[in-house]
Amino acid sequence: MNHIALIGRLTRDPELRYTPNGVAVSNFDLAVDRPVPNQQGERETDFIRIIAWNKLAENVANYVKKGRLVGVEGRLQIRSYETQDGQKRRVAEVVASQVQFLDRGRDDSAAAGNG
Amino acid sequence: MNHIALIGRLTRDPELRYTPNGVAVSNFDLAVDRPVPNQQGERETDFIRIIAWNKLAENVANYVKKGRLVGVEGRLQIRSYETQDGQKRRVAEVVASQVQFLDRGRDDSAAAGNG
Amino acid sequence: MNHIALIGRLTRDPELRYTPNGVAVSNFDLAVDRPVPNQQGERETDFIRIIAWNKLAENVANYVKKGRLVGVEGRLQIRSYETQDGQKRRVAEVVASQVQFLDRGRDDSAAAGNG
Amino acid sequence: MNHIALIGRLTRDPELRYTPNGVAVSNFDLAVDRPVPNQQGERETDFIRIIAWNKLAENVANYVKKGRLVGVEGRLQIRSYETQDGQKRRVAEVVASQVQFLDRGRDDSAAAGNG
DNA sequence: TTTT
DNA sequence: TTTT
């Protein structure tokens, strides 16, 4: 089991690319707020990287922009890679299975998913 | 582990009551949409009963109304009771731990929780 | 968004049936414990109905038995029906998307899902 | 909303420390398996860093060891820091709110949480 | 690098 | 109707 549910705002427009074999993939960052315990009204923000594949990647790129509020479901993935000078790094990202659009007029609550 | 995450709209204003010993409790129903598989554009709706306690009950009663979009986190509880003519019945409800307000101006994304 | 995550024990063996058009469906109940607040060591139990479809229904029926510990992911569904004497009733059940087997030797942590 | 649910095994014994003002904090890594799509029987593993605070930190340190299967609930946090040579780095970790012990005899399904 |  |  590896399931994460987030609600937050995009910090930038999603970036849509295609793999060499034509699979759509898009990335964006989500600003997710939370209250600071015992500090009334204060909030802190986590900036969480999201990755979407296939039709969901295209829907996100077409319908969501910087500043929009979305709900995201997916799984947390830790990817390892090496920098050019040979250091090992790890990047955490949420692989989205569902993205739900939450503000803006009658589009409210529209949703997109894979599979 | 018993955790549920929902996004939906209230079908009526929340009802606020107090137990004999003065504990606030409020109830509302959430309309939660989902796509019907293989039926493009079709949606079905689950109507899910939510119960909130204490300060969260009061916040919900004060700030959320029928039609508003909210995110709810909590646990699924199955309560048993007997009808007046002695039949056993069971009711399912989500005991909310967090409610997040998702539409309406700069209130966007305000949140309330217990504990 | 409608996602639930549960860990609990089966209260009986799963029941496997097939719809008239040959789709596998299986049902079981999960006993899900939780601590009673402020009552050290006390626990209460929710008995939650699970329904699985297709290959997941068959895997569950084949590999899980009464008493086994499992993790379940899915969505909460409220189904309405009428009794023979015309009363309206509602039943809550979790439509499983994943079931993970959690005890018993090297089977530990085996998982099965749909789609 | 920021909620994650995981089931996995500890890759090492948890490490228990105390902050200068005496707050318990413990760290461990969880190996979380998932099936590789379209590759029958193949599995990949994410290694996810967990952090627990207060009484939960102490319970985890006392009762859980390397290799044990646990369920973890919490939130995903992205922490920024600077390396000694002034590079900015980010680390992702799950701040646990509940840890449930899932294997080993009658301890099965014991749980510990904060708040 | 960050959103309202 | 309930599991350990």
C110 falls within a domain: no
Nearest protein residue to the C1' atom of E3, measured from CA: A11
B110 falls within a domain: no
Longest dimension (CA), chain D: 51
D112 falls within a domain: no
Residue type at position D62: N
| Per-residue pLDDT, C85 | 84
pLDDT, tens digit, 9 for 90 and up, residues A85-94: 888 889 999 9
Distances (CA, A) of B88 to B80, B81, B91, C92, D13: 7, 6, 10, 15, 48
B8 falls within a domain: yes
Residue type at position D75: R
Residue whose pair of structure tokens reads 């955490």 in the numeric block: A92
Q: Answer yes or no: are the C-beta atoms of D93 and D81 closer than 8 Å.
A: no
Geometric angle at alpha carbon C74, from C28 and A24, rounded to 5°: 145
State the total domains in chain A. 1
What size, in residues, is chain D? Answer: 115
| Per-residue pLDDT, B110 | 63
Q: How confident is the model at residue C88 (pLDDT cuts 50, 70, 90)?
A: confident
Q: Give the Cα separation of D36 and D69 in Å (integer).
A: 21
Least CB–CB distance from A73: residue in C3, C71, C111? C3
Neighbouring residues of D115: CB distance < 8 A, sequence distance ≥ 6? B115, D97
CATH number for the domain harbouring residue B74: 2.40.50.140
pLDDT, tens digit, 9 for 90 and up, residues B20-70: 999 999 999 999 999 888 888 899 999 999 999 999 999 999 999 999 999
Instruction: Report chain D's mean pLDDT, rounded to a whole number.
Output: 91
8 Å CB contact of A109 and B35: no
8 Å CB contact of A103 and B103: yes
Taking the CA of residue C103 and the C1' sugar atom of nucleotide F3, their distance in angstroms comes to: 13
Percent of chain D topping pLDDT 90: 73
| Per-residue pLDDT, A108 | 44
Strand F contact at CB of residue C18, distance < 7 A: no
**Taking the model in full, what pTM does it have?**
0.93
C16 falls within a domain: yes
- pLDDT of C106 > 80? The answer is no
Q: Answer yes or no: are the C-beta atoms of D7 and D19 closer than 8 Å.
A: no
- pLDDT of C114 > 70? The answer is yes
- pLDDT of C93 > 80? The answer is yes
| Per-residue pLDDT, C55 | 96
pLDDT, tens digit, 9 for 90 and up, residues D57-81: 999 999 999 999 999 999 999 998 8
C109 falls within a domain: no
- pLDDT of A109 > 60? The answer is no
A10 falls within a domain: yes
| Per-residue pLDDT, A115 | 61
B106 falls within a domain: no
Distances (CA, A) of B70 to A7, B30, C23: 11, 9, 35
Q: Give the Cα separation of D63 and A25 in Å (integer).
A: 42
Domain that holds residue D92: 4-36+43-101
